[in-house]
Amino acid sequence: MLELLRRLWEVENLSPHGICLLWRPELIWTHVVSDSLIAFAYFSIPVGLAYFVSRRRDVVFGWMFWSFAVFITACGATHLMAIWTLWVPDYGLEAAVKLLTGAASIGTAVALWVLMPKALTLPSPTQLRQANESLQARIRERDAALAALKAAHAERQRTEELLRQSQKMEAIGQLTGGVAHDFNNLLNVVLLNLDRVERGLPEESPLRKRLRDAVKGAERAATMTHKLLAFARRQPLSPVSTDVNAQIAAFAEFLRGTIGSRIRLETDLASDLPRVSIDPNQLENAILNLAVNARDAMPDGGTLTLATRTLPGGEGLAVEVSDTGTGMTPEVEARAFEPFFTTKPLGQGTGLGLSQVFGFAQQSGGNATFVRGDRGGTTVRLSFPAQGPAAERPVPTRPSPAAESGFAPPRLPPVAVAG
């Protein structure tokens, strides 16, 4: 065995490989340059593999890269030995290097084929891209679902807030209506007795002036109770089939004198409006209240617009009163229809104008709401249901209501409603 190893490393009786090439320089150096380039490439490839594996520790089967690195390094060593044996007949060392290279190549080949089924199950770049696109689509769907859920939650909160506001307005209306009803009947008793006292006094009596002042105060209190009853939807109405466009067109001239010359009045009346069954006097009174509020919101002048619109599906119509004034904050808008709520200075408003408008619209089967627009200011929309064909009849001529200031309201008869 020792003799075999000694003879394997023996070089004295062997000739270098250059002798086979007759030491021809062109052949010698061609082999040297070619083997040097191949060896350099073989040695650089394992360095690249080692750098890649060390930086990408998430790569699966990383040990296979190291196996390839060992195999390729051994291959590079065989080419170096080919250069060495051109001058030194060290064929035993060359054989040992080739033996190691063969063992590394066989081990790498076997490991590669064993690993092949697992490697084939790895996703390709196309499959990864498709999976990524599918994941992104699911993320978009989830985001859309979350946005829809947030929108539904916000809508639910808004609906609950509207319900609470409606319940509050209903409770205030019931309380206000009960108090106003009883107080109205008491005022009518007062007015009736004051009228009897006035008729019993002589014409030259000095008490007549004081009595008339008492009557005026009682009548003004009766007007306030009438507004409270309107908010509570307990005022007596006389609904008739009404052409709203004609009513507004006739009322516009009176309204121009009420709002003053600094405010421009415009009308935008839609055609083919359905007729509605409402009290035309109370409609004019509601428009007058809204116009007075709009006038106070435009101290430097502006534009007041009266518009009519057909509701979707022809279910009715809407009357919109818009101004270009200072507008309302959301907090004020939420409470604007409540009785006695006002933003005017003390003594300049009762806070019953908008509540009367709200009660009239509700009692007429419609609604009163604020509409937010792009041009600022305030827009109040009164909506009324369309009248059925059976109720069609001509519109009677009725006098326009008096403004809140400048005309004394009529005395109110007792209201026959539950207390």
pLDDT tens-place string over residues 25-68: 999 999 999 999 999 999 999 999 888 888 888 787 888 888 99
pLDDT at position 40 is 94
Give pLDDT, residue 32: 93
Percent of residues, the chain, with pLDDT higher than 70 = 79
| DSSP result, 316-368 | EEEEEEEE-S----HHHHHHTTSTT---SPTTS--S-HHHHHHHHHHHTT-EE
Q: Give residue 252's pLDDT.
A: 85
CB atoms within 10 A of CB 193: 11
Beta-bridge mates of residue 310: 317
411 has pLDDT over 80: no
Res. 151: pLDDT tops 80: yes
3-state secondary structure of 101: helix
Helix axes 62-84, 25-55, angle to 10 degrees: 160
Residue 406 has pLDDT above 50, yes or no: no
Interatomic CA distance for residues 380 and 378, integer angstroms: 7
**pLDDT tens-digit readout, 246-273:** 989 888 888 888 788 888 899 999 988 8
pLDDT classification of 415: cutoffs 50, 70, 90: very low
pLDDT at 391 over 80: no
Question: Contact, 338 vs 298, CB < 8 A?
Answer: no
Residues 6+ apart with CB under 8 A from 352: 224, 227, 228, 231, 339, 340
Classify burial at 385, counting beta carbons within 10 Å of its beta carbon; exposed 0-12, middle 13-18, buried 19 or more.
middle
pLDDT at 355 over 90: no
pTM: 0.45
What is the per-residue pLDDT for 308?
92
Residue bearing the bigger pLDDT, 133 or 190: 133
H helical segments located in 201-277? 207-231, 244-259
